[in-house]
Amino acid sequence: MIRSLLNDFREIATAGVKVAARQGANALDQMVAERECRRSASTAGYEMRLRNPKRTLLGRGSTFDARVTLVGGEAESFFLRIGTDCVVRAGSYISGRRGCVDIGPYAYIGHNCWIGGQGRIEIGGWALIAPNVVIISSNHDFRRDDVPYGEQEEIAGLVTIGRNVWIGAGAVVLPDTAIGTGAVVAAGSVVARDVPERSLVAGVPAKVVRHLAGADTAEL
C-alpha cells in the first residue's frame, strides 16, 4: 500500500504537478485523478497543466504538446471533454472551469489558441483550428456606467462549430454564433454571426465571400 502510494507521488511529480502539503487527502485524490486523466491520452507534453481533472475527459489517442493548459469544470454542471485522436499544440489554453467545452474526435487545435468562457462551446470532429484563434462563449455586460466592465455580470452564450470546419490563424469566434459543417473562416476574421455550411467567410465582422463546392445555396 505504502509503496503504491509512493509510486503514485513519484509519477505525478515527474509530470510537473505541484500540490501543497496542506491539501492532505484531497491532494492525493486530485493527483490520482490527474494521473488517470493523463494516462487516457497517448502523449502529454512537458509542463502540460491540467486543472480540475475530475471533470475533464481526454479521449484516447489524443496528443497534447508542451505548455498546454486544460481546465476542467469547478462544479458538477461544468466540464471539459476532448475526443479521441485530437491534437492540441503548444501554448493553447482550453477551459471549462465555469462553462462547458466539448470537442469532437480528430480535431486539431493549433499553437496558442484560447478556448473558453462561461457558456458552452461545441466543436465538431475533424475541425482544423489554426494558431492564435480565440473562441469565447461569454461576454461582459457593459450597460452600467457606475461599475467597471470587468466587475459587471458575465453573460453566457453558445458557440457551435460543425464538423470539418477550418478556422484560419488569428480569427475570433464570439458568443452566440454557429459555424456550419464544412465552412472556412479566413485568417484574422471576427465571427459575430452565423456562418452557413460550406461557405468561406472573411473580414471584420466576417461575411460570406463565396459558397464552396457542394453547398446547398437554396438554403443559404
Angstrom distance (rounded) from CA 113 to CA 217: 32
Using DSSP bridges, classify how beta strands 158-161 and 120-123 pair: parallel, antiparallel or unpaired.
parallel
Q: Indicate which residue of 140, 144, 193, 207 is catalytic.
A: 140
Catalytic status, residue 111: no
Sheet containing 108-109: order of strands = 43-44, 63-64, 87-88, 108-109, 128-129, 166-167, 184-185, 199-202, 207-211
User: Which residues does the annotation mark as catalytic?
Assistant: 140
